[in-house]
Structure formats: C-alpha cells, structure tokens
Structure 1
C-alpha cells in the first residue's frame, strides 16, 4: 500500500509528465512550422517518451494499491524566437523535471518507502540522459551558428531518432 503523501506526489508527477508531453508536442509543431521537420520528429519522440513516463507512474500507483487522480494540464508555450531557444527551453525544462524527481525521491526517503525509491532510480538515470541530450544539441546549434548547411545536417540527424518504449513498460 502506498503512503498517502507519496501517492499524492506521484499523482502530481503524472501531471508534470503529461505537461511535459504536451510541451514537447508544442515544440514539435513549432519546429515543423519552421521547416525543421527532423527536429519536429525528435520532439514527437520526446512527446511519446513523456507519455511513457506518466504511464509508468500510473501503473505503479495501481500496482501498489493506490488511487490515480488525474488533474488538468496547464497551457504550454507555443512559440519560441529561434531553434536554439527551443532547445534551451528543453534543457531548462528537463532540469526542472530532475528537481521534481529528486524531491519525490527525497520524500520516499523521509517516508521509508523503499519500493518507490527503487522505481524512481530509473527516472533519476533517465533525467541524466535527458539533460545530456539537450545540452549536446544546444552545443551543436551554438557551434553551427547561422550555417544553413550545418543546421540542415543537424535537422536530418535529429530526424533519424526512433521511438523506443520505456524499459519499465516492457518489463513484467
């Protein structure tokens, strides 16, 4: 059985993950509108991954006998001034998600919820990867500057990204 405080925090994290999914879908739409279809596809994969994260938390709450309580998703930004700004916003957002996951983990430490700590370790590792990916893309965009061919190549590279369901959804 889930601790009441942990259950409430997990439900809040589901909302945060769904907001993240919505944000990345908005970023995908923005990139497509800018003619950066590869980057748009990259964000579409991000969108699906964030939905996976919410589903993992949803499944965990159910598995532990808790109650999932879905909340409204707040509006997300829809425009950015540049492709660099889109990815800088991505990094800042992932850093915020890392803070949320860390706070959730700290709560499980306070509440001696070892099972939830174990599950959250996957999210902690995932956040390291998410921040690194965003920073790498930012570094590449800064290196490219206004080189159209470089931006074209980066767009093609990012467009080759394939969606893979989160491992916690495939393990049973």
Structure 2
C-alpha cells in the first residue's frame, strides 16, 4: 500500500530544499574556515554554528518527507564558492545566500497552497519565520561591520566585532564542543 501523502512535485521540492540547506551548511562552513584561517576565531565560530543550524534545517526537511511517507533524495552538493576576498564579501555572501533560500522557501509555500497541501503549508510556516530571523541576522552582520569601519576597520574594531560574535548566544552548540556522541 502506498502511504505517501506528498505529490511528486512537492516531494521533489522538499528534497531539493533539503539539499539546498545542506549546500548552505557547506557554504557557511567554508566561510568559517576562511575566517578561522584569517584569525577571526569569533566570526569563524559564529559561521560554524550557523553551518550546523543549516544542517539541522536539512534534517527537518528529511524527517518531514519521511513522516509523510515520501523518500527524500540526496543529490550531489555543489562546491562552496571561492573564499571571500574580505569580511564584507563574506557577510554579503551570507546575506545573499539567505535571500536566495527565502525565495526557495516561498516557492514551496506557493506550491503547497496551489496543491492545497495544508500539512506542507503548515510545516513551511516555521521556515518562513526562520528566514525572517536569518535575513535579519545576516543584515545585522553587514551593519555591524559597517559600524566597525567596513573593510577599512581598525584592528581594534575588528577585534571587538570578532569578540562580540564569539559571545553571541546561539541554540546551536559551538563547533569545538562537538564530540562523536554529541555532534
């Protein structure tokens, strides 16, 4: 008996979004590695935590598709972009990625509405709200860097920004606290 309660179109859209979230995780992980290599451990840890949050989002999509009787498809993940040239480029990249993700989320919401798939529409509302927070967070990063002086910021300003981001509370555990039993 077929227990799949998702249309093939919605199942594919949700799988595509799961993969998009995994890609976002890789992008933020690569940005974090870049920041760490440049000596910005606070910014790096912030980006590592954000990478983990994006991975958690991909798992939410996976679990939802499975719970609705579907089978998510894991696709090849594109390589992250080249290292940013500056903190401005890094934070702009984070913002652009979030805006692109919001657009993809809205497409799924539209599709669920069109198909009258109220369970998926309801599920997606969490992500709509999450994207408001994600875009605001990314926009605030850009603003904080501008206040610090942008790419011409003093070492002291960048040190303060780095320290502020290191201390920013987050639901996602710090990368350095991960273990095999507690990833």
Is the TM-score greater than 0.5? Answer: yes
CA distance in 1, matches of 2:24, 2:82: 13
CA distance in 2, matches of 1:67, 1:10: 10
- 1:128 aligns to what? 132
CA distance in 1, matches of 2:143, 2:125: 27
Q: How does 1:111-122 map to 2 (within 5 A)?
A: 111-122=115-126
CA distance in 2, matches of 1:99, 1:32: 30
Q: How does 1:1-172 map to 2 (within 5 A)?
A: 1-145=5-149, 146-164=153-171
CA distance in 2, matches of 1:26, 1:161: 20
Which stretches in structure 2 are left out of the alignment for 5+ residues? Answer: 173-183
- 1:168 aligns to what? none
1:148, distance to aligned residue in structure 2 (A): 1.7
| Number of residue pairs matched by the alignment | 165
CA distance in 1, matches of 2:19, 2:164: 31
**Which 4+ runs in 1 deviate beyond 3 A?**
none
1:162, distance to aligned residue in structure 2 (A): 4.5
Q: Which moved more, 1:139-148 or 1:36-45?
A: 139-148
Q: Is the 8 A contact 1:48 1:163 kept in 2?
A: no
Instruction: Please identify the structure whose Cα radius of gyration is greater.
Output: 2
Q: Is the 8 A contact 1:36 1:155 kept in 2?
A: yes
Which stretches in structure 1 are left out of the alignment for 5+ residues? Answer: 166-172
1:78, distance to aligned residue in structure 2 (A): 3.4
Q: Is the 8 A contact 1:45 1:161 kept in 2?
A: no
Q: Which moved more, 1:98-107 or 1:70-79?
A: 70-79
